[in-house]
Amino acid sequence: MLKLNDNFLRLSDSYLFTEINRRTADFQRQNPDKKVIRMGVGDVSLPLTPTVINALHSATQEQADAATFQGYGPEVGYKFLKQAIADNYYALRNIHFDLDEILINDGIASDIANFPEMFSDDAKVLITDPVYPAYLDSNTMAGKEITMLSTTLYPTVSEQINHLKTTGYQPDIIYLCYPNNPTGLALTFAELGQWVEYANKEHAIILFDAAYEAFIQDEDVPHSIFEIEGAKQCAVEFCSFSKSAGFTGLRCGFTVVPKQIADGKLLHNWIRRVCTKYNGAPYIVQRAAEAALSKQGRAEAIENIKYYLQNAIILREGLAEIGLTVKPRQNSPYLWVNVGMPSWDFFDMLLSKYAIVCTPGVGFGKAGEGFVRFSAFANRQLTQEAVERLKNNK
């Protein structure tokens, strides 16, 4: 008998997007004349900016000439991109890293999903619920003991930490994602500081997903966990160019592992792992990411972020028309809406009445039941059209 990894049997079916597509296709079949508007997707709609495109062109040209051709690059990423990250991403916020603490990847999904293998089999994992499903699935595959912490039941960080203390549960690994997918919530310096203090006290590690960092507008919200004192002792950070610079298709991100953690052993092991299991992100993509971090690249990216944030404002006003209040949020492309009924019932209602698709919150975890997620990543025209429908048909 082939000895398969039985942990895969513990995975729940990842049917969220399949089910959304099935119900949408059924609706479209029955209503061929209706134009469905998808307000659920987490993918960007704006093209890459001119500075990124120029960098792609010139890096491609380099590949055409034997004198500048690049073959295999460093598995951990080219120095030019690590330097751009150290200077234009971290040093701007007064955070300083050695270049070997920064590792380039092809987007953070794989690094996040591969990180559980850095820890012992009996390491206990805490995951907030609702959240991006990869944390739960990758730890399930790795056979870890997982506890979900409902941020619906315990909305504030104080309540969450108190809950851990009263139940006596002590996690070794804590996944945090802020601004959060799907809730859009961001943590202030003080709130994230509570997690850092807790992790240091309990000797836990925080795996911090900063995928939506670029959407942060509030002054009291940190962009990086390393803006918090003590975080270099207890946190690893995952940053992506996907949402900040539209790289969802191009694929580039970076993981930062401070050398302070476990006397440098975590960094050492992670580098060892990367060099064994990965052969590096493409040269031309890394040149594009470097360009995205240039002064001009960042200015262009900010314009795109503003566009999505404006979509979010338009959408929020539209939802108010049908009696759904969404707290004003300035730090996220997602609107997380309490719909007062099961998530899938609302999904069906919205589809049949308005031909609009949202994402049922329960797909992001049990604690997401009763909520749906709207995304501001659609283009402006579709966002406005969706809002018009809500206004006219209410």
> Given the complex with ligand PLP, which of 104 and 337 has the nearer CB atom?
104
CB of 42 to ligand PLP, least distance (A): 5
> Given the complex with ligand PLP, which of 51 and 138 has the nearer CB atom?
138
CB of 243 to ligand PLP, least distance (A): 7
> Given the complex with ligand PLP, which of 107 and 193 has the nearer CB atom?
107
Q: How far apart are CA 217 and CA 197, in angstroms?
A: 24
> Given the complex with ligand PLP, which of 245 and 355 has the nearer CB atom?
245
Residue numbers at the binding site for ligand PLP (CB under 6 A): 42, 107-109, 132, 177, 181, 209, 211, 240, 242, 248, 253
Spatial contact of 80 and 293, defined as CB atoms under 8 Å apart: no
Burial 14-35 (b: 16+ CB within 10 A, else e): eeeeeebeebbeebeeeeeeee
CB of 110 to ligand PLP, least distance (A): 7
**DSSP calls for 169-184:** ---SEEEEESS-TTT-
Enter the DSSP assignment of 341: S
CB of 34 to ligand PLP, least distance (A): 28
Phi, psi for residue 102 in degrees, rounded to 5? -105, 120
Tokens representing 169 are 């549960």
> Given the complex with ligand PLP, which of 42 and 116 has the nearer CB atom?
42
> Given the complex with ligand PLP, which of 44 and 261 has the nearer CB atom?
44
**264 C-beta neighbours (distance < 10 Å), count:** 13
CA atoms within 13 A on the CB side of 282: 12
CB of 157 to ligand PLP, least distance (A): 18
- What single-letter amino acid sits at 212? Y
CB of 85 to ligand PLP, least distance (A): 14
CA distances (Å), origin 358, targets 84, 199, 341, 361:
37, 35, 14, 9
CB of 106 to ligand PLP, least distance (A): 8
Going by DSSP bridges, is the β-strand pair 253-256/102-105 parallel, antiparallel, or unpaired? antiparallel
